[in-house]
A and B are shown apart, each in its own frame.
Chain A
Amino acid sequence: MYGVKQLFVPATVKEALEWLHQNPQAKVIAGGTDLLLKMRNQAMREVVLVSLHKLKELEGIEILPDGTLRIGAMVTFTQVNRSSLVREKLPFLAEAAVTMGGPQIQNVATIGGNLCNGAVSADSAPSLLALEARLVLENREGTREVSLEDFYLGPGRVDLKEDELLTAIKIPLPRHNKWGGYYYKYSMRRAMDISTLGCAVVCAVEAGGQVSQARIALGTAAPTPIRCRQAEALVAGRFLSPDLLIRIGETAAGEAKPRSSWRASKEFRLELIKELTARTLVQAYQNAGGEYRDEN
């Protein structure tokens, strides 16, 4: 039994926002896979919850008139994975979705919860950062949009007001005709594990084989998920080579600020960053149709 004093189940977003405005101390529950765990670990009692599970407006995946892909905040990882739209437009995101947890968690955990929770290990964050996703935030007063990068304020902190809901994630679809992405989740187990390091790369390739542009993002490499802009600059307009890959890795490691914890030492994480940014870049490049023979 969780220490819940009251559970409010609104039927519309409007109702939810109104209620949140009246009850600023209330906590929002989506899938609950982070929140309930926290309530248990901290033995919270008398919590007032507002559950989003009946809000149809927060569901669904669609292409908006402006060509961006909209994923409702309550969309689960399973739904992202199974969505034919995601599979067609952003195949790597569909695959990345099922690197998190296991089937039972994926069936319940929402992509909105993953981001709002603010964990640096959130498995959706690197891919969405590399895709330059934007978040739609609403409260009673109105709607605002922030980039995911700006949404992260610091360790475990996000730009979300007490009375606000994340309603959707908007992803500008890559326009380049040769592009590819990849998410490399590095964890101790192949399922049911929090990432030791996550790396996502979205890259576009020129007809001649040069990388025209690459976006590189890392999870669990700094106090928040980050973009590695210096490493990105290094690769733009270049052909991949073993030497370049080493430099990319080192540059990304220079941009990251991993910590030592009982889960992994800083030294280890730095080695992983070097290795994985290079590997993920190669994989994304190949997914974009680029040809690179990896001597591994």
Chain B
Amino acid sequence: MKIECTVNGQREIIEIEPGETLLEMLRNRLGLTGVKKGCEVGECGACTVLVEDEPVDSCLYLAARVDGKEILTIEGLSQGGKLSKLQQAFIDEGAVQCGFCTPGFILSAHALLKRHPQPTEEEIKQGLAGNLCRCTGYQNIIRAVQKASNE
């Protein structure tokens, strides 16, 4: 089946399979490999992308559903080669280790900051609770989001 959507600001018309996930469409058809796959069942958040500004687990989301929608992946965040505030804050605060969870976290945080430009620590935790990280203990990720929200 054919769908039409906007990915990282680019209009796309894509031929997809009915059982195809958004994750598969983005990685395999559009080469957006910044979308990571950690579990394929909605448990880790590594595959997080934004659909209409809201984070979803792209592994548990049929590609067919994004017909007519806008999608943002990590590749769309640093347009023009300039890092977003959040990306820079992740670097500055040491919020990146292996980096496998990082795109998902940054996108969840991006959506959070859009809704709550000045989130409390509790709001940050709630907003990022669907993303797992085994390396950082989350401490520096929280700091990074705080830093980006203060700028």
Contacts and interface: CB of A to CB of B under 8 A. Distances in A.
To the question of whether A and B form a pair in one complex, the answer is: yes
Interface of A: 1-7, 9, 29, 32-33, 36-37, 40, 47, 49, 51, 53, 78, 98, 101-105, 107-108, 190-192
B18 A49 contact: yes
B41 interface: yes
14 contacts: A3-B19, A4-B18, A6-B18, A7-B1, A32-B60, A32-B62, A33-B60, A40-B40, A53-B65, A102-B45, A102-B130, A103-B128, A103-B130, A108-B60
B64 A192 contact: no
Contacts of A36: 60, 62
A191 B61 contact: no
A4 B19 contact: yes
A51 B126 contact: no
Contacts of B62: 2, 4, 7, 29, 32, 36, 51
Given A33-B42, A53-B65, A78 B54 contact: yes
A104 B108 contact: yes
Interface of B: 1, 17-21, 24, 40-43, 45, 48, 54-57, 60-62, 64-65, 108, 111, 126-132
B41 A104 contact: no
A107 B61 CA distance: 11
A36 B56 CA distance: 14
B14 to A, nearest CB: 15
A58 B137 CA distance: 40
Given A36-B60, A108-B56, A108-B60, A1 B130 contact: no
A40 B17 contact: no
A98 B126 contact: yes
B42 A2 contact: no
